[in-house]
Structure 1
Amino acid sequence: MRRTTRLAAVAAAGAALSVLAAGPASAGDPTVTDPHVVAHFDFAAGQQAENIALEPDGSADITWAFAHQVARVAKDGTTEVVATLPEVPGGSTPVGGPVALGIARAKDGTLYVTYATGTDKTGIWRIAPGGEPEQIGFGFPANAFPNGLALDEECGTLYAADTILGQVWSLPVTGGEPTVWATGTELEPTPEIPFAANGLKFHNGAVWVSNTARGTLLRIPVGPEPDRAAGPIETKATGLTFIDDFAFTGHGDTVLAALIMDHKVELVRPDGTHKTVLTKADGLDGPTSVAVHAKTVYVNSAAFFTQTDPDPNLLLAKISKNKL
């Protein structure tokens, strides 16, 4: 089955999900304005824009899913490939072939990428500045699907959401075998939709995770040293239909979330209410991930579900300063 057909079938199965109404506007909401697409990518070449990590100059390091590459896109749209993960002959995943997914950046410029292949190449890969990709996370199960990725650099720990197994992995930044860090019904798929824990961010002493199947945004506190165990899972927002990745707008708990099937970005307030701030009319085509740098919002679109003229792209917008 073609990957677009397979994903569309899963989307149709989840059409019966209920959606909670967005809450009323708040005077504290940041505003998102001036959306514009700065770069278009080649769908046929596998350049589905999946995840984002930002450089200090505002350039975006983007994973191209089925090309299994990392591309660097300047704010003016200039694009260069900085790394290509190895081919995996015979590799297979629930979305088709091998896919490059999450990405995180260390302060020294080292990039970390999750790669799902259905083989022993599945894991977390490190890309040193100017270097070649090197696998540092080994021993994932054959059916693992490590997706969203975040780095707690202070404690030297990587966290990855597993979209198929419905859990969170942890791995020392030095590499090795992963540990199952968090489990629970809140992270798992549903009978109708097999794609669960997806986007992941480390924020204010907690791991935040989106669950695509359940349309939820979750917070998992990180416990104290020495084990830094996962605390109880908290549901922070619901009704986020087919949520993919997300990003915080600042130091507080306000979030921008990509809703891949609805071609929307939602602003999610700390109380869990939310409203739409970007749509397909702005240029979104199956948005997969969001990032925020200073007063700029970045949104990747992968165009996974577009049947005609798919347009994977990178969209930028302005965001007002806020304290939420």
Structure 2
Amino acid sequence: MSKTGSTALATVLALSAVLVAPLQASATGATLSAPRVVAHLDLAARQQVENLTLEPDGSADVTFAYSRQIARISPRGDVRVLATVPAPPPGSKTPAFGGEPIVGGIERDHDGTLYFAYSTGTAELTGLWRLRPGGTPQRVVALPPTGVANGLHLHGGFLYAADSVLGTIWRASVRGGPAVAWSTAPELAQSSLAGANGLAVHNGAVWTTNTDTGSVVRLPIRRDGSAGPARVVATGLGLIDDIEFTGRDDTLLVAGIAANEVLLVRPDGSHTVVLTGADGLQNPTSLARRGNTVYVANAAYFTGVDPNLLVARLSC
């Protein structure tokens, strides 16, 4: 989720985090343990991770939302900037979250090519971008400048992007060409801060969060590639961001950005808190899993303290 720079909103969200009483992990089902911070990032340099994807060696490729950068964090915690996206013309304004240009979701293809979302409020730059190994960023798909592309997933040669302002899931080929409004279901709509946000493809469906409604939404991918009817599978999760699945079934992890927690959401929609601020969370924005290791990106958008990359052990 890309965030507003509004001081008033940050204050409200910070207070909500204090007022939400942490729950204890369930004695049954999956849980996270042994959390540790891999990298403490530079808040002054705006190294606030919005999204991440994993390299084969365990490095994390990340987007720094407001510095317009793509970076790589090694397993030892070293940070290397891979590219900086061009700035929009002076006076440009992204249509949400304080008006700044925002780098959102990121995905890695099998050949090391990175795809990421960039929103600026301008028709010339807003869209889905590509960064090949050793190359420079190039836009491959244009998106409406009136929206903000957020969560991103690469599946079957197509990029699916969640638009938090327009309440739309976009679908586009990695080869370029126009994006299609794959779904504009009411369950994706923005009502105040952000609608459709985190995104994943799993078990034949696109799954997304709606930040404003605190819900997870499932949309089947039909045989012809079109979207099936949206179904809300979990509610009451608070202000949430990204999602990641724990394995083959539909159990998932959700980043609770405002309450400073990671939630485990079961297929029946019930949920349990499995990480909190006491474990090192600082407004978690994004999740990724490799085997039994879960990566959690913490942007510290509202706490303003210690943006970091954390890992924890998944036990099922």
**For 1:43, what is the secondary structure of its paired residue?**
coil
Aligned-partner Cα distance in 2 for 1:65–1:252: 31
In the alignment, what sits opposite 1:146? 149
Query: Structure 1 residue 215 and structure 2 residue 217: aligned?
Result: no
Residue equivalent to 1:267: 264
**Is residue 4–residue 305 contact of structure 1 (8 Å, CA) maintained in 2?**
no
Does the aligned pair in 1 maintain the 2:70–2:82 contact within 8 Å?
yes
Q: Do 2:255 and 2:285's aligned partners in 1 also have CA atoms closer than 8 Å?
A: yes
Matches within 5 A, 1:42-121: 42-90=42-90, 91-93=92-94, 94-96=96-98, 97-120=100-123, 121=125
Q: Which of 305, 312, 317 pairs up with 2:312?
A: 317
3-state SS in 2 of match to 1:186: helix
Q: Residues 6 and 95 of structure 1 are in contact (CA less than 8 Å); yes or no, is this contact kept in structure 2? A: no
Take 1:23 and 1:216, find their aligned partners in 2: how far apart are those partners? Answer: 21
Give the superposition deviation at 1:10.
7.3
What per-residue deviation string (whole Å, max 9, x for no partner) do you get for residues 267-314 of structure 1? 11111111011111111111101111111110001111125xx22110
The answer as to whether partners of 1:22 and 1:273 remain within 8 angstroms in 2 is: no
- Give the secondary-structure state (helix, strand or coil) at the position aligned to 1:219: strand
Give me the CA root mean square deviation. 2.2
Does the CA-based 8 Å contact 2:169-2:183 persist in structure 1? yes
Pairs aligned (count): 307
TM-score normalised to structure 1 length? 0.89
Q: CA deviation at 1:64?
A: 0.5
Alpha-carbon distance, 1:141 to partner = 2.1
Structure 1: which 5+ runs fail to align? none
- How far, CA to CA, are the matches of 2:223 and 2:231 in structure 1? 18
The AA in structure 2 aligned to 1:64 is: F
TM score, norm. by length of structure 2: 0.91
Structure 2 CA distance for aligned equivalents of residues 47 and 259 of structure 1:
20
- Paired with 2:302 and 2:75, the residues of 1 have a C-alpha distance of 26
Match of residue 132 from structure 2:
128
Structure 2 residues not aligned, in runs of 5+: none
C-alpha contact 2:119 2:127 (8 A) present in aligned 1: yes
User: Quick check: 1:22–1:274 contact (8 Å CA) kept in 2?
Assistant: no
Distance change in 2, residues 1:50/1:24 (3 Å): closer
From 128, 138, 141, the counterpart of 1:137: 141
Q: SS of 1:158's equivalent?
A: strand
8 Å CA contact retained: 1:52, 1:300: yes
Q: How far apart are the structure 2 equivalents of 1:216 and 1:23?
A: 21
CA-CA distance at 1:22 after TM superposition = 7.6
Equivalent residue letter for 2:294: V
1:5 correspondence with 2:10: no
Preserved contact between residue 242 and residue 254 of structure 2 (Cα < 8 Å): yes
Aligned counterpart for 1:281 among listed residues 265, 278, 281: 278
Cα separation, 2, equivalents of 1:194 and 1:238: 17
Where 1:8 maps in the other structure, the secondary structure is helix
**Amino acid across the alignment from 1:172:** S
Aligned-partner residue type, residue 221 of structure 2:
V
Q: Distance in 2 between matches of 1:224 and 1:23?
A: 41
Task: Tell me, in whole angstroms, the C-alpha distance in 1 between the residues paired with 2:122 and 2:77.
Answer: 34
Partner secondary structure for residue 44 of structure 2: helix
What is the CA-CA distance between 1:201 and the residue it aligns to? 0.5
1:6-65 deviation line (CA, Å, top 9, x unaligned): 6426748x96xxx9x9899363x1231111111111222221111010111111111111
**Once the 2 structures are TM-superposed, how far is the Cα of residue 254 of structure 1 from its aligned partner?**
1.0
CA distance in 2, matches of 1:163, 1:183: 11
- Out of 217, 235, 238, the residue aligned to residue 235 of structure 2 is 238
